[in-house]
Amino acid sequence: MSHPLRIGLAGLGNVGAGVVRVLDANADLITRRAGRPISITAVSARDRQRERGLDLSRFIWVDDATELAGRDDVDIVVELIGGADGPALTLARRTLAAGKALITANKAMLAHHGLDLAAAAEAQGLALKYEAAVAGGIPVIKGLSEGMAANRIARVYGLLNGTCNYILTRMENERLDFGHVLAEAQAAGYAEADPSFDIDGIDTAHKLSVLAALAFGARIDFAAVATQGIRAVELADIDQAAALGFRIKLVGLAEASEGQLFQRVHPALVALDHPLAAAGGALNAVVAEGDFVGRLLFQGRGAGEGPTASAVVADIIDIARGSIGHAFGMPVAALTALPPADIARRRGRYYLRLTVADRPGVLAELTAALRDHGVSIESLIQRGLSADGDAMIVMVTHIAGEPQVLASLAQMAASDAVTGAPVMMHILDF
C-alpha cells in the first residue's frame, strides 16, 4: 500500500462537511479503489464552532485557509470556499504555486479565472480538477473530457441549476406563482437569501462557460454568455406551453459552429418527450452531442451535500490513482479563442404570448407585425381572460430569424391594443 494522500480542506459548509462524511463512511472502499488511504490532515473554515455533526478535533485547524497551500502535511488542497475572487482565488493560486494539485467546486472562480489557473497547473504538471463545479454529483466533466474525447462536440446543453428546476417544477405541479415558490424555497433553505445567482441564471452561465470550454476545446468566455433567468416566467406561460406539448426549463445552451461560440442561458420550451422534460425537481441533466457517439444524456442530483461531496471525492480518488490530465481536456495553449456567435444569425421556433384588449382588428394588427418581418405562424391560440375584455394570444412561429421575431415583438408592443409586456421564449428543437 502506498503512503496516504493528505488533504487540506478549505470550507466546511454542507459540501465540505459532506466530503468528511464520505471519506469517513466509505474509507475502506475508497482505499481499495484509490490504491492508497486518503486522509484529511488540515481544515479551515470561517466558523470553527458551528455545529456540523462532525468530530473536527482529529484535524489540524487553520484559521487562514490560504495557509493550507504551504503546509508540509498537505499533498493536495480542496477549495470549497466559493466566490470568484477573494480567499478562494488566493488559495487556488498559492496551492498551484506550491506545487500541489487543486480540487475545487467553485464554478464562479473557474468561469472568471479558469484559464489562468489551468495554465498555472499545467506549468507545473499538476492536476486541477472540478467535477463538483458543474452538475453536482453527475460525472459530466469526466464524461465530456474523457468519455467523449473521440468526438467533435457540436452542442452541449442542459439543466444546470437545481433551484431553478425545483421552482419551475413546483410552479407547474402545484400551480403556484414564481414569487410564492421562491419565498417557500428560501424559508426551507433550498434557495439562498439572495437568490439572484440562481434565479437570474448567473450560476448556470458560470457552469455553461466551463462546459463549453471543455466540449469545444475553446477558451472560456463567460462574459459572452447571454443570460436570462426565470423571474419573468409566469404560470400562464407554463400552462400555455403545456397545452402546446412543452415544458419550460431554464436551459444553458452552448454550440460551436462556423468558428463561433454560441452561449446562452434562458427559459426555453422543451417538448414533453425530450429527456430534459423528464428531469424534474432539483435534478440536473446535461445533453452533449458528439459527431460519432450521437446524443448522450447525463442525469442526476446537481446539488446538495451528498452528490457534490461525491464528485469532490471522485476527483481526490482520480488524483490518488495518478491522474493529472489537463483541466480543459487539452493544454491551455491548444484551446481556441472562438468569437461569440452573432445573435442575428440565430434561427429557431419561438413561443410568443401577448395580453391584448379584446377588440376588432387586434389580431390583424399582431399578425401584420409578424408578416412585416417575414415571420410566419405555426399555431395561434386566443383566449378570453377577463370580464373587462382582455384576451391572451399565444403563438408559435415557424422557424424564423431571432432578430425578425424581436422586431415583430417590438412592433406589437408599441400597439395600443397590447396591454402587457409581450413574452417570448425559445423552443428547443433538438
Residues 326-365 that bind its own copies (CB under 8 A): 326, 329-331, 334
Number of residues that bind its own copies (CB under 8 A): 62
Does residue 306 belong to the site contacting its own copies (CB under 8 A)?
Answer: yes
8 Å CB contact between 286 and 135 = yes
Residue span 20-59 as binding mask against its own copies, x where in contact by CB under 8 A, dash where not: -xx--xx--xx-xxxx------------------------
Selected binder of its own copies within 228, 318, 370, 425 (CB under 8 A)? 318
8 Å CB contact between 336 and 316 = no
Return the H-helix or E-strand segment holding 383.
strand 377-384
Amino acid at 112: H
Supply φ then ψ for residue 286, to 5 degrees.
-130, 135
The stretch near its own copies (CB under 8 A) out of 80-88, 314-322, 393-401, 416-424 is 314-322
Residue span 213-232 as binding mask against its own copies, x where in contact by CB under 8 A, dash where not: ----x---------------
Assess whether 207 carries a catalytic annotation. Answer: yes
Strand partners, 353: 394, 423
Selected binder of its own copies within 290, 355, 391, 393 (CB under 8 A)? 290
All three cell numbers of 70? 504551504
All three cell numbers of 51? 455545529
Does residue 201 belong to the site contacting its own copies (CB under 8 A)?
Answer: no
Selected binder of its own copies within 64, 85, 146, 416 (CB under 8 A)? 146
The stretch near its own copies (CB under 8 A) out of 43-51, 69-77, 324-332, 379-387 is 324-332
Residue in the block written with cell 445573435: 343
Does residue 157 belong to the site contacting its own copies (CB under 8 A)?
Answer: no
Residues 262-281 that bind its own copies (CB under 8 A): 273, 275, 278
All three cell numbers of 16? 465540505
Does residue 142 belong to the site contacting its own copies (CB under 8 A)?
Answer: yes
Query: Cβ of residue 333: shortest distance to its own copies, in angstroms?
Result: 10
Does residue 309 belong to the site contacting its own copies (CB under 8 A)?
Answer: yes
- The residue among 179 and 292 lying less far from its own copies, judged by its C-beta, is 292
Does residue 311 belong to the site contacting its own copies (CB under 8 A)?
Answer: yes
Interstrand relation of 246-257 and 260-271 (parallel, antiparallel or unpaired): antiparallel
Strand partners, 144: none
The CA dihedral of 65, 70, 73, 77, to the nearest 10 degrees, is: 50
- The residue among 216 and 222 lying less far from its own copies, judged by its C-beta, is 216
The stretch near its own copies (CB under 8 A) out of 147-155, 200-208, 373-381, 422-430 is 147-155
Q: Exposed (0-12), middle (13-18) or buried (19+): which is 243, by Cβ within 10 Å? A: exposed
The DSSP-derived string for 148-186 is TTTS-EEEEEEE--HHHHHHHHHHHHHT--HHHHHHHHH
Selected binder of its own copies within 79, 122, 131, 237 (CB under 8 A)? 131
d(CA 410, CA 400): 16
Does residue 195 belong to the site contacting its own copies (CB under 8 A)?
Answer: no
8 Å CB contact between 391 and 384 = yes
d(CA 395, CA 377): 7
Report the interface residues with its own copies, using CB under 8 A.
18, 21-22, 25-26, 29-30, 32-35, 131, 137-139, 142-143, 145-152, 217, 273, 275, 278, 290-301, 306-307, 309-314, 316-318, 321-326, 329-331, 334
Active site residues: 207
